[in-house]
Amino acid sequence: MIRRSGAAAALSAAAIAILAAACSAPGSSSGGSGGSGSGGSTGAASGPIKIAVVDAQSGSSSDLGQFEWRGVKLAVDQVNKAGGIDGRKIQLTLFDDQGDPTVGTELARKIASEGFTAMLGTAESSVTLAMAPILQAEHIPNITSGQSTKLLKLGSPYLFLNGPTGLTYDSTLAKYLVQTKGYKKFALLTNNDSYGAGEDSAFTSSLKSLGITPVAAEVVPADQTNMTPQLNTIRSRNPQVLFIGAEEAQSGLTVKQARSLGMTAVIAEGAPAGTPLFLSTAGVANADGTIVSSPYLGNGVDAASKAFAAAYTAAYGTAPELHGAKAYDGAEVMISALKACHACTGLALASAVRAVHRTGLLGTFAYDSQGVGIFSTSIGIIKNGTIEPVSS
Amino acid sequence: MNRLFAARRPLGLAALAIVAWVLPYRLNVYWISVADTALLFALLAVGLGLVMGIAGQVNLAQVAFFGVGAYGVGILTTAHGFGFWLAALLAMVAAVCAGLVVGLPALRVQSHYLGIVTLGLAVAFLDWVTNAPVTGGDSGLSGIPTPPLFGVGLSSQYLYYYLELIVLAAGLAFGYFVVRTSLGRRLRAMRDDALAAGAAGAEIRVLRMIAFVLASVYGGAAGVLYAGLIHYIAPETFSIADMFLLLAMVIIGGRQSLWGCVVGAIGLTVAQQELINLAAYAQLGYGMLVVAVVVFAPTGLAGVPSRVRRWRLRRRSGISAAALGSFSGVPSSGRTGAVLEVSGLVMRFRGVIALDRVSLRAEPGEILGIVGPNGSGKTTLFNVISGLYRPSGGRVDLDGRVISGSRPWRISHHGVARTFQHLRLFGNLTVLDNVRMAMDRTRSWWSWRYVFWPVGVWRHERELSRQAGAVLDAFGLAAFAGALPHSLPYGIQRRVEIARAMASAPRLLLLDEPAAGLNGDEQRQLAEIVRAIRASGVTVVLIEHNMGLVMSLCDRVVVLDSGAVIASGVPASVAAQPAVLEAYLGTTTLPSEAS
Amino acid sequence: MSTLVVENLAVRYGGVSAVRSVSFTVPPGESVGLIGANGAGKTSTLRALMGLVPRAAGTARFGDRDLGKVPARHMVRLGIGYVPEGRHVFAGLPVEKNLLLGAYASKWDSSCRARLSEVYDLFPVLGQMRGRLAGALSGGQQQMLAIGRALMARPVLLLLDEPSMGLSPKLVEVICSALQRLRAEGLSLLLVEQNAMLTFEVTGECLVLENGSVAMTGTSAALRDDPRVRKIYLGL
Amino acid sequence: MQSFFQTLVSGLSFGAVYSLIALGFSLVYRTMGLVNFAHGAVLMTGAYLASTFYLSARLPFAVAVPAAVLATGVVGLLIERVLRPLESKDVDLMLIGTIGAGTVLEAVAILIWTSSGRGVPSPVRAAPLDVGGVRIPVYNLVVIAVAAVTMVLLTLFLQRTKRGAAMQAVAMDPEAATAVGIHVGRSNAVAFAIGAGLAALAGSLASPMLFVSPTMGDSLGIQGFAAAILGGFGSIPGAIVGGLGIGVIGSFAAQWFQGYSDLVTFVVFTVLVMVRPTGVFGEKTVNRA
């Protein structure tokens, strides 16, 4: 008997619940979803401007995340100290994406629901790729540190890069190595994550446009730390140049292991080779002579970078590197846009970002329709543990 | 107490349903996405619970099933332009195939070996998706479409929540349907004691594969839903770290309870989101929790209420007050006894001869006693007859049909049932379920009904319950139907084991030391039961050390010594033979009664 | 030298009563047998004495020590040697290593070497096979090894559990004479056996167990001629 | 051909490391029947300790490694103490318990050393040897030598010392061991500590060849475990053969199958386990009713 009435209660309760659901859709009534529908209005004129920084603070790419956060924070601290934007301070919140795209998508929704104006980061193209559709739907402009050309294919008007694409890095590098130095035998060693795969295709196509086919193109898993088997294959082909497409630590290890196998080929690489982690992993002696393609060659190249380096060192007690500089530039672009449109939001802010024209640490930003603002890199060479611009 | 609880259950479910239904009204955009993720993990965890907790198969490849489902949908929709639901269907098929592949090693290895092999296969899957062009490599697949439902695109997180909720509810319902009925009972019996389950007629190999297929269905479904929810998939989501997190959910929640798995999954997902900026502390926390649960509460959170209840019961009184009923005859099975013919049986273990050309014969309606000193090969003989060992030579026939070399379940289906020297009851099955499990004479492929004809399963279940009730009544065990074997006094456990053996309506019953540990009264009851079994026409072979019982009970006795038959005949004449005296007492110089 | 005094010993496994109220005494230099059919509770009695299974009731004292408070691994230091049922040699280790492990509680010094040669003297076959893995020995040799291992610690009381199990009559004789020799050297023995005749040869006094209780006691000589023993064994 | 030998050399050097890992697994399994899924995390702990002693405390490498081995042995004692109640219980719970312990160690390492990882410069600065065009880094030879010496020492310890004999006795028959006066619990603890020490040795030896990070134990642990099973769980020669086997299979798989090396390695491993579950030197066990 009791059982009967229990079931009846369950049925009627369910019926009520369904009725309730039919009357109003969940989510529409609650005030949670902040971003939806605010397609380009000028933001509320009071309170701080909320900007989200999404970067890995845990997991294998947490180093990058740390560098980025410092760069962003430095720029924002500076503008806040100078009075903010139209008297409003910028309030930064750091989110840890753990390098995981799924976590990224959840963070994108969190950012939307908590009414953030804009987002800076992430350091990884794959996480940005996952987040971009949600940010687009919620009208939140995002300046990412990713450099994959896949980002451009999304065609989101809210997505911007804070540096050049991988293709820019690699074509500059290939041109220098082939046309200036006259090398002809190239070997590639790339890892299989999105960065490595992007480098593989970008450098290969850059070489191809110069009429050169690599003598070896080896792939290693991104978490592999023993590259010797692949290096063996490369060594047997005797290349003049070994191009590496992998993150800092793995690149450093590759260089170390290549040298311990007695390989003498010139090492060439994109941005990761310019970082302290690369140097410490490879060892200073092994890294000597590595050719680097980077929009930010070092802290002493010009007045702007010297000033940045001084401020960064004062704030964090350690010298900056490329990622910090990139993130700093990205934050500066966002700040300029906010200033220009008086802290607007949504599509208006995105348009303001696109209109920014300023010279930063990496060069002069002038965004195209795809969200790329920087189209060149410089070539440097590592000598005694520091990068110097090549004298060409 | 128990009935009250049962009555409360629908109310609790209703309350839960209402909470789950109105929950989205209280959640903002972010928390609804957390809820969506939590429900997916819950679905995954239920699958893992089924394979690990219910079937006892270590599976560290559940994330791979998840991945196969997600990538199946991703690849088919983006690269081949399939519609979402067609792609989902094919992805589920792929996930089931993955389940079969991952399950294969379980046919050969178990426990930690299975752990490392399944983990290795998960790593292999991860490696494939990270490299293959078709999966988009490390940068993954984007642009997966939103699943439409009755013309409505489920792009809203809120609508999606309801889709997931319905799938999870259906998954849980199906899971409980399986667990509580024939198939699940066999899986649980296999988990508790694969050997005894095989001897009771369960096809262990098929069941193991079914367990992995079940896990892969839940994993695949979660993957399909994930792809439709996030619209983007990348290898990172299916990493080993996530596998361990999933494992932690299931262990902390309680692997043997599907609700426990759900609670663990939701709890840990929410906790992880709360601690998103303290990931290392979160990891530390759940790691310590897993260790603590495993050491102090192996059944997880779900097991805590019953542990508390048992503890309180134990404090209040010793054993339950229910009394053992009297034995009221063996229910007629309609089957006649079989002739057992053992001829020239030889069993060697790495050079040691355990059975040396043993030949014997047992007729229908006869009680044959097998006696002999320790280590004379009696239990080995039973193990060969019941199919646990494949003999090195000789043969065993049942009614003229060779059964030696067959698998235990097949021999059980031929009508052989046995008990074990050291009780082998299914420890986490109730007495009723122990009996129902052995009573279930269906083959494993019968399980297709779970998908296509559930009504048939229900009917079968009702019939089983009716018959099992009759067996328990007959053996005077009705009062203990709901008890776990280990909570019962030893003498009752012995009787349960005989009842279980008789539930399979055997034609030949092998009893291995049924009187061990029984007091005088219980031994008398045992003799009564065994005689009744003989009277019902079943052939009985029993190993017994209690010579008094053997002498009074057995029609004929076979004496084994060092693996060979040294004497056989009616009890009194066998006891008088010098060879028997020597085997038992050590020498022939023992004075006879006459001297 | 100490006396082993066992009073009202009881053992239960779960709900099963394996031993109910068994009492006996082994004075120094004496030899006592516990006989009975399989499942009578002989082995359980011995294991309870050694502390390998918990006692449900009763006490056991050795000299002035309450054995209930001594962990199993310290029995050997009190001078109690134990030869388990089924021999339990360390199958993957050589014969000599098995014997040396018997002297684990003392130093592996010259007196240990001397003891080793005594054991080889008692069982010459072990000396011939000292380098062989124990698992590769025959059942009888393993039994000698198990006894030899227990002797290595120079016990004053030796507990033996079914030393004749599974052995051929000839080997039973070898074991029997070895035990007689040990007894002559002044060692106390507590012998658990199914083989009643062997026990009567070796011991001075015997208890016959049936269903966990003492059914009969008496001198071995008297029991040897008692037809009731046979009844208990064969259930007639 | 030269490339073949070069790959073989690299496979053998890493194989030596895997052998050490497998040895730890096997020793613990052999002496206490415990399958330690935390072994990889223990290895990582050892590698971090060694690199900290070497890089931060500026101890010589030859001092840093033994110090790390000792310290990790203490960590092993701690884990054993926590998991002791599980030792005689069901194998699956043990497996999960050690996975939990591994998770904890990893989290602790992240909290202490952050998750970014560090490179460890090779302590041997000599140029690689050139044998007929095959380059052999001197440090790799050091690793192989240390691994070989360790295995010899371990074998001697087990065969020649009283404690070693006692540990084996405990593994073969805990009850008989108790009867001759061996403290089974203490013996198990020592075995676990030695297992942890072996993991630490493997980790610290591997760190100049690889990269020290909180997750380094994941793949090394899985590979080492696979090596132990391949050789025959619990067997010492099996651990050596299995380790070298997995090292060589892995190296050639990496060279021939590039990014797909893990896939190939584990598929081969799965097939091998199915064909011969007991490994090369493992013993067949019999079901008993």
- Neighbouring residues of C184: CB distance < 8 A, sequence distance ≥ 6: none
- Are C and A touching by the rule of 3+ CB pairs within 8 Å? no
C-alpha span between B462 and B473 (Å, rounded): 16
pLDDT in tens, D51-83: 999 998 889 999 999 999 999 999 999 998 888
Residue B315 pLDDT: 62
Q: Are D17 and D146 in contact (CB under 8 A)?
A: no
Alpha-carbon separation of residue C228 from A195, C220, C231 (angstroms):
90, 13, 5
Could you give the ipTM of this predicted complex? Answer: 0.82
- Write the single-letter amino acid at A108: A
Instruction: Please tell me the pTM assigned to this model.
Output: 0.86
Q: How far apart are the first and last CA of chain B?
A: 66
Longest dimension (CA), chain C: 55
On the question of pLDDT at A9 being above 70, the answer is: no
DSSP type of residue A176: I
Report chain B residues whose CB lies below 8 A from the CB of A13.
14-15, 17-18
Task: Report the first-to-last Cα separation within chain C, whole angstroms.
Answer: 42
As to burial, measured by CB atoms within 10 angstroms (0-12 exposed, 13-18 middle, 19+ buried), residue B75 is buried
Tell me the residue length of chain D: 289
Which residues are CB-neighbours of C100 under 8 A, at least 6 positions away?
Answer: C108, C112, C116, C152, D162, D165
Alpha-carbon Rg for chain D in angstroms? 19
Contact assignment for D216 to A225 by CB distance below 8 Å: yes
- Cβ <8 Å between A26 and B24: yes
More confident of the two residues B435 and A299: B435
Fold for the domain defined by A166-294: Rossmann fold (3.40.50)
Architecture of domain B2-308: Orthogonal Bundle (1.10)
Q: Looking at residue A153, what is its pLDDT?
A: 85
Token digits of residue B29: 């955009």
Chains that touch D (3 or more CB pairs under 8 A): A, B, C
Query: B276 to chain A: nearest residue by CA?
Result: A96
DSSP per residue over A243-256, as a string? EEES-HHHHHHHHH
Q: Which of A32, A33, A221 sits opposite B130 (nearest CB)?
A: A221
For residue B102, the model assigns a pLDDT of: 93
Q: Each residue of B380-401: b (16+ CB within 10 Å) or e?
A: bbbbbbbbbbebeebebbbbee
**Minimal CA separation from C202 to chain D, in Å:** 23
Interatomic CA distance for residues D4 and D125, integer angstroms = 25
Test B124 with D266 for CB contact under 8 angstroms. Answer: yes
Flag if C230 and B590 touch (Cβ within 8 Å).
yes
Predicted confidence (pLDDT) at residue A2 exceeds the cutoff of 70: no
Residue B39: which of B163, B162, B165, B224 has the closest Cα?
A: B165
What is the assigned CATH class of domain B340-415+505-594? alpha beta
Nearest chain A Cα distance for residue D6, angstroms:
7
Per-residue pLDDT tens over the stretch A204-231: 999 999 999 999 999 998 888 888 889 9
What are the chain C neighbours of B547 within 8 Å (beta carbons)?
A: 37, 233-236
pLDDT surpasses 60 at D280: yes
Architecture of domain D2-275: Orthogonal Bundle (1.10)
Give the tokens for residue B545. Answer: 């050390």
pLDDT of residue B593: 37
Per residue in B437-476, pLDDT (tens digit) is 999 988 888 888 888 888 989 999 999 999 999 999 999 9
- Structure confidence at residue B577 (pLDDT): 83
Q: Is the pLDDT of residue D286 over 50?
A: no
Question: Taking CA atoms, what residue in C is nearest to B586?
Answer: C195
More confident: A302 or D197: D197
Mutual angle of helices D261-275 and D216-231, in 10-degree steps: 30
CA atoms within 13 A on the CB side of D267: 13
Q: Is 80 exceeded by the pLDDT of residue A248?
A: yes
Whether the pLDDT of residue A10 is over 70: the answer is no
DSSP string computed for A253-293:
HHHHHHHHTT--PEEEESGGGGSHHHHHHH-HHHHTT-EEE
Of D176, D181, D182, the CB nearest to C88: D176
Cβ contact B284–D104 (<8 Å):
yes
Q: CB distance B551–C164 less than 8 Å?
A: no
Indicate the DSSP class of residue A118: E
Contact residues on chain B for C165, CB-CB shorter than 8 A: 373-375
Tokens, residue B426: 């299914």
CA distance B2 to chain C (A): 26
Phi, psi (rounded to 5 degrees) for A174:
-65, -45
Helix then strand then coil, % of chain C, to nearest 5: 40, 25, 30
Distance CA A91, CA A77 (A): 10
* B298/D93 touch (CB, cutoff 8 Å), yes or no: yes
pLDDT, one tens digit per residue, over A170-211 is 999 999 999 999 999 999 999 988 888 889 999 999 999 999
Contact D104 B291 (CB under 8 A): yes
CATH 3.40.50.300 maps onto chain B at: 340-415+505-594
Question: Residues of B with CB below 8 A from A129's CB?
Answer: 139-140, 142, 232, 234
Q: What is the pLDDT of residues D216-270, one digit of tens each?
A: 888 888 889 889 888 887 788 889 999 999 899 888 888 888 888 888 888 888 8
**Residue B531, token pair as written in the block:** 């005689």
Per the listing, tokens 């310890």 go with D157
- Partners of A382 in the beta sheet? A387
Residue D130 touches partner A, C-beta closer than 8 Å: yes
pLDDT at B276: 75
Please list the residue range(s) of chain B that carry CATH number 1.10.3470. 2-308
**Tokens at residue B251, please?**
């262990």
pLDDT at D210: 85
pLDDT of residue A12: 58
Mean pLDDT along residues D102-127:
87
- Extract the residue ranges of chain C whose pLDDT is less than 50: none
Torsional sign, CA D46, D52, D54, D57: negative
Q: Are strands C4-13 and C57-62 parallel, antiparallel or unpaired?
A: antiparallel
DSSP letter string, C21-76: EEEEEE-TT-EEEEE-STTSSHHHHHHHHHTSS--SEEEEEETTEEGGGS-GGGGG
What are the two backbone dihedrals, phi and then psi, of residue B593, each rounded to the nearest 5 degrees? -60, -35
Count, residues in chain B: 595
Write out the residues of chain A at the interface with chain D, using a CB-CB cutoff of 8 A: 58-60, 62-63, 66, 191-192, 218-221, 223-226, 228-230, 232-233, 235-236, 249-250, 252-253, 256-257, 260-262, 277, 280-283
* B464 vs C230: CA distance, rounded Å: 49
CB–CB contact C37 B375 (8 Å): no
- Residue length of chain A: 392
For residue B572, with 0-12 CB atoms within 10 Å meaning exposed, 13-18 middle and 19 or more buried, which class applies? exposed
Chain A residues whose CB is inside 8 A of the B33 CB are 105-106, 109-110
In CATH, the architecture of A6-164+304-366 is 3-Layer(aba) Sandwich (3.40)
* Residue A4 predicted with pLDDT over 60: no
Rounded Cα distance, B512 and B421, in Å: 5
Distance of alpha carbon C27 from the chain centroid: 15
Task: Write down the residue that tokens 């391949």 correspond to.
Answer: D230
Could you tell me which of A95, A57, A53 has the C-alpha nearest to residue A74? Answer: A53
In terms of CA atoms, which chain B residue is nearest residue D108? B284
Predicted pLDDT of residue D274 = 84
Chain C CB contacts of D181 below 8 Å:
73-77, 104-105, 153
User: What is the C-alpha separation between C40 and C36, in angstroms, rounded?
Assistant: 6
Q: How many CA atoms lie within 13 A of D200 on its CB side?
A: 27
User: A1 vs A8, B16, B434, B501, CA distance in Å?
Assistant: 11, 21, 30, 37
Residue D265 burial by Cβ neighbours in a 10 Å radius (0-12, 13-18, 19+): buried
Say which of A63, A229, A281 has its CB closest to residue D119: A281
Residue numbers of chain B with a pLDDT score lower than 70: 1-8, 314-323, 332-334, 351, 585-595
Chains touching chain B through at least 3 C-beta pairs below 8 angstroms are: A, C, D
Q: Is it the case that residue A30 has pLDDT exceeding 50?
A: no
Query: What is the number of alpha carbons within 13 Å of residue B302 lying toward its C-beta?
Result: 21
Predicted confidence (pLDDT) per residue in B128-180, tens digit = 998 888 988 887 888 888 888 887 777 788 889 999 999 999 999 999 999 99
3-state helix, strand, coil split of chain B in percent (to 5) is: 60, 10, 25
Touching check for C13 and chain D: CB below 8 Å? Answer: no
Task: Determine how many CB atoms are found less than 10 A away from the CB of residue D67.
Answer: 18
